[in-house]
Every structure is written in C-alpha cells, then in structure tokens.
C-alpha cells in the first residue's frame, strides 16, 4: 500500500531529518512510530500526504477505488487534482482536536463531508440526508451518538479527540495518519482513544499509522512498531518483538 524507497529529507538549514528510509506498510496494518522528540517521526508521517516534501527518493501509495481498480500515487511528483484525490483518501489527525467549539458535535463531524458536496451546499452548510447518516453512524461507532447535538465546548478533552476521530472516519479514508493524538490526555482517556483507533482499524479495515510517545500504548494496541532515531529506522517489527534491548537502541542507554 505504501512504499518508501531511499527517502531523504534535508531541511533548508542543512539538517538531515530523514536518512535513506526504506519501508513498506501493507493495507490494513496498525503501525506505531516511536522515538525521541526530534528523531524524525512527524517528518516521516507528514511525507505521506505531501505536507512535508521529500528531498530525494520515492513514496509510492496504491489505493483501490470502489470498483476495485488500483490507482497509484507517486507522492513526491503529484500536484493539483491528483494531490487532492490522495488527500481525500487520507485522514489526518493531530494532538490538537481542530474542532469548532461553538458548533454542535454533529456539525463538526459533518465538516469532513464538505469536500464531497457541491460549492453552494458548502457555502450554506446544507448537508444531504446521506451525509448526515454517515456522520451519525461515525458517532454511534464511537459511542458518541448521545452528544450529537451538544456543543463541543461542553465536552472533555478525550471526547473532543474522539469527535475528531469520528470526523476523520466520516471522510471515508483508506488510511489514517495521526501525529501524537493522545499526548494531551490522561492515561484512561488515552487508552480509550487508542482502543477506538484499534476498533476502526479492525472493523473498517482502515490502515492506521500513528506517532506516539507512550511505548506501552504502542505495544498494547499497534500490530507493528517502527523505531526512529536521528532520522533513521532502527527497529521495524511486530510489537511483541520490542524488547529492552531494542528500546535502548531507539532511546539510548538511559531508557
């Protein structure tokens, strides 16, 4: 599904953020990327949808449409409508909830459908019954249906992050990439959000790639872990294989 082939990223100041990344991620995986702050985790994640452009190498992504026809994206080279199509297939989440707090939960989730409705409907905020059904089903899946007409500002941080996830899955993505989505949450809420990611990965067959600082959460929920240090992949394997020796390789001897 996603293939990194000798990918490098060098920032304008000369910092080599990614070094010869060779990696394949298969359809349906739940992958956690771990490593120290500044190791290159976020840079790696955001090359997938061209938020960060790479300096050299290739990133190839294959998606299948509803007719089971494969479409290939050479991420570094595409632009215009092809880039828009790629980004429509990728749900992006971050530690910021990016909700509009004065609006209802339902209206926040419906915002995921704006790119799929016509210009005049987007201006007026009028959504079809079909779009509303998609949004409500996403909320139901995450046990948030009872809050559909509540204002977002009245909900907790954990609930707001789950609203962001409901909005993301209402986009009908083939892939979700999430940058530190649980870093601002307490342990109980972080577990709930990670459990939601695992549920979506399993039931909706959506590939999930997540950057996370919580190693135990990564081991508990992800099926595969990638360890990054100084812009290089130093561990790539099943979660069960991440032992103390591998963790010291990723984080240093003081881990």
- CA 227 to chain centroid: 17
Q: Which CATH number characterizes residue 49's domain?
A: 3.40.50.300
246 lies in some domain: yes
What tens digit of pLDDT does each residue of 55-86 get?
Answer: 999 999 998 766 567 889 999 999 999 999 99
Placement of tokens 């990965």 in the chain: 201
Query: CA torsion sign, 42 to 29 to 140 to 133?
Result: positive
**Integer Cα distance of 73 and 85 in angstroms:** 9
Contact predicate 165/200, CB 8 Å = yes
Confidence check: pLDDT of 109 > 70: yes
Structural domains of the chain, count: 1
184 lies in some domain: no
Pairing of strands 224-229, 30-34: parallel
103 lies in some domain: no
Closest CA to 208 of 168, 236, 238: 168
40 lies in some domain: yes
* C-alpha gyration radius of the chain: 19
14 lies in some domain: yes
What tens digit of pLDDT does each residue of 84-100 get?
Answer: 999 989 999 988 888 99
What tens digit of pLDDT does each residue of 123-148 get?
Answer: 455 788 889 999 999 999 999 999 99
Higher-pLDDT residue of 121, 182:
182
pLDDT > 70: percent of the chain: 94
Q: Where in the sequence is the domain holding 58, given as residue range(s)?
A: 1-89+208-255
Pairing of strands 16-25, 2-10: antiparallel
164 lies in some domain: no
What's the mean per-residue pLDDT of the chain? Answer: 91
pLDDT at residue 29, rounded to an integer = 96
């Amino acid at each position: 599904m996603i293939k990194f082939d000798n990918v490098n990223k060098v920032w304008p100041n000369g910092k080599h953020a990614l070094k010869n990344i060779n990696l394949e991620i298969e359809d349906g995986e739940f992958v956690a990327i771990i490593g120290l702050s500044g190791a290159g985790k976020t840079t790696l994640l955001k090359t997938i949808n061209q938020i960060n452009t790479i300096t050299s190498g290739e990133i190839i992504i294959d998606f299948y449409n509803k007719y089971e026809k494969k479409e290939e994206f050479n991420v570094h080279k595409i632009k215009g409508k092809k880039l828009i199509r790629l980004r429509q297939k990728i749900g992006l989440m971050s530690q910021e909830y990016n909700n509009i707090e004065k609006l209802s939960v339902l209206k926040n989730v419906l915002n995921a459908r704006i790119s799929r409705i016509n210009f005049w409907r987007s201006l007026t905020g009028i959504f079809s019954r079909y779009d509303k059904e998609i949004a409500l089903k996403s909320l139901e899946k995450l046990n948030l249906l009872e809050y559909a007409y509540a204002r977002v500002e009245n909900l907790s941080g954990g609930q707001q992050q789950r609203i962001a996830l409901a909005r993301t899955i209402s986009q009908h993505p083939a892939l979700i990439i999430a940058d530190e989505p649980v870093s601002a949450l307490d342990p109980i809420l972080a577990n709930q959000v990670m459990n939601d990611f695992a549920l979506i990965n399993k039931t909706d067959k959506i590939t999930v790639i997540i950057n996370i600082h919580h190693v135990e959460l990564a081991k508990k929920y992800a099926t595969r872990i990638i360890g990054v240090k100084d812009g290089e992949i130093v561990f790539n394997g099943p979660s069960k294989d991440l032992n103390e020796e591998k963790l010291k390789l990723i984080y240093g001897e003081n881990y």
